[in-house]
Structure 1
Amino acid sequence: MSEPAWRPLGPAGNNVRRNVRRLRERRGWGYGHVEERLAREGRAITTLGLSAIDSGERLVDVDDLVALAAVFGLDVEELLRPPLDCDTCHGAPPAGFMCMECETSALRTAGA
């Protein structure tokens, strides 16, 4: 049996998606600006591809992740984690809730 062509993002994929969008918007960068910077890093992602990353319709592979981290001047781990600079939840909403500001969600813990 073959794997489906599209899989929903997991928690790390959603963190990457949200962080890339948040960082791009905070810096006032359009998709075209990010596309140019990625090309200089040797990893071409079109504006359409960047839009699909923002919406969760495109998975970010390891090479994309490394290039995106370089573009934003971050370590890869920083793109994988919930955003600690969210003024509302600081990357740690209560278990079972989602922050409406950064869209980070916390899973319920076992026994909760």
Structure 2
Amino acid sequence: MSKSSTSNEHALVAIANMRRIRRQRGISTQKLADQITAKGVQISRSTIVNQETRRSETASMTIDQAIGLCRVLDITLDDLIDPALCETCHGGPPSGFTCNTCGRRSRRTNRAVENAVERLVDSDPPPADLAARVIERRNET
């Protein structure tokens, strides 16, 4: 498999995931374009529509577009190009939530859990039983 076909396959998966997540969250193509542009990446509604409907000969997504999209949808690049997404959250639960089906947390939720664990571990004296349970649960994910 050539390098260009691998890149195109990743782009196709990323675009399919973008569309699923966007639709699941009820975000219009115009609103998505506006939010990505607000994050510093210029993209138009027509570009997103063309990507999603594959009107162009070869589907493509720039790195900047992918990063802007991930910031807006609060997902990682791995989530964006992962073809095996959860049917419930499609790899991107809303910010601050955890998917009940796959257990995937939004990045904001992960940060909140990490901060809570640090506070528990750093408290004097640390609540040994509680901290151990929280750390164990964190390691499960």
TM-score, normalised relative to structure 2: 0.52
Q: Is the 8 A contact 1:19 1:83 kept in 2?
A: no
Q: How many residues align?
A: 82
Instruction: Decide which structure has the larger Cα Rg and report it.
Output: 2
Summarize the alignment of residues 1-112 of structure 1 with structure 2, pairs less than 5 Å apart. 10-56=8-54, 57=56, 58-86=59-87
Structure 1 residue 11, shift from structure 2 partner: 2.1
Structure 1 residue 83, shift from structure 2 partner: 3.8
Structure 1: state its 5+ residue gaps.
1-6, 91-112
Consecutive aligned runs of 4 or more in structure 1 exceeding 2 Å deviation:
none
Give, in whole Å, the separation in 2 of the partners of 1:11 and 1:39: 25
Give, in whole Å, the separation in 2 of the partners of 1:16 and 1:83: 11
3-state SS of the aligned residue for 2:67? helix
Structure 1 residue 10, shift from structure 2 partner: 2.8
Q: Is the 8 A contact 2:8 2:60 kept in 1?
A: no
3-state SS of the aligned residue for 2:27? coil
**Considering only aligned residues, what root-mean-square deviation do their CA atoms show, in Å?**
2.3
Give, in whole Å, the separation in 2 of the partners of 1:26 and 1:35: 16
Higher helix share: 2
Structure 1 residue 73, shift from structure 2 partner: 0.3
Q: Is the 8 A contact 1:18 1:54 kept in 2?
A: yes
